[in-house]
Structure 1
Amino acid sequence: MTNEEFTKLSSELETCGKALLRIAVALKAPQDEKQAEPEKKKPAKKPLTLEDVRKVAADKSRQGFTDEVRVLIQKYGANKLSGMDPAKYDAFLKDLEVIGHAG
């Protein structure tokens, strides 16, 4: 091979190498974009409504625990369920679930 042929092949090889690098960058880019996206957070838990709490309390009353439900409502500072602070619904439901379970 002559020097001219080596130069030509070297140039073609360099062009091929640059093309391979561009391909590698293009293939890698979507993965990098996915990694750059912040992780999706779990959706926030839907706040409890009076109706959600009322359903559980009514079910406990039907099971024969009306007095216990009434005492629990008073424990959370209300005379009736609709008078309870909605911020207390989660804790109230946890206590409500325990009613009727042997412990």
Structure 2
Amino acid sequence: MTNDELQQLAAGLANCGKALLRMADVLMEKKEDAPAAAEQKEPEKKLTLEDVRRVAADKARQGHMEEVRQLIQKFGADKLSGVDAARYPAMMKELEAMGNDE
């Protein structure tokens, strides 16, 4: 291998090294930006009657039938389907907490 060929190879390796350093810098910048994107809160999934009914039924099967009935009345209805959909998140929180204090 001639001296010119070795110099060309060395220059090529130097260029590769510079390219790798640039790529590493770009990846680090993106990594620093990623937490900001991850911190953006995703919109809450809209709860449906079926979602609430599933949790309420589970609680009733666990022996909390009367508490479920009282909770439905607390939210102004005689039956689950009578509860205003806007109140599902609050009701779901109470359902999920039900029985956890035992």
The letter of the residue matching 2:100 is H
Q: Distance in 2 between matches of 1:63 and 1:53?
A: 15
1:54 equivalent in structure 2: 53
Greater Rg over alpha carbons, structure: 1
Q: Distance in 1 between matches of 2:42 and 2:62?
A: 34
Question: Are 2:85 and 1:78 aligned?
Answer: no
Deviation string, structure 1 residues 2-49 (Cα, Å, up to 9, x no partner): xxxxxxxxxxxxxxxxxxxxxxxxxxxxx9xxxxxxx69544222100
Q: Distance in 1 between matches of 2:99 and 2:41?
A: 33
1:92 equivalent in structure 2: 91
Q: Distance in 2 between matches of 1:82 and 1:53?
A: 10
Q: Distance in 1 between matches of 2:53 and 2:63?
A: 15
Where do residues 1-103 of structure 1 align in structure 2 (5 Å cutoff)? 42-102=41-101
Q: Percent identity?
A: 58
Q: TM-score, normalised by structure 1?
A: 0.58
Q: Distance in 2 between matches of 1:47 and 1:65?
A: 25
Partner-residue secondary structure (3-state), 1:101: coil
The letter of the residue matching 2:94 is D
Partner-residue secondary structure (3-state), 1:47: coil
The runs of 4+ residues in structure 1 deviating greater than 2 Å are 39-43
* Structure 2 unaligned regions, length at least 5: 1-25, 27-36
Partner-residue secondary structure (3-state), 1:91: helix
Q: Distance in 1 between matches of 2:74 and 2:65?
A: 14
The number of residues matched between the two structures is 80
**Residue 99 of structure 1: how far off its partner (Å):** 1.3
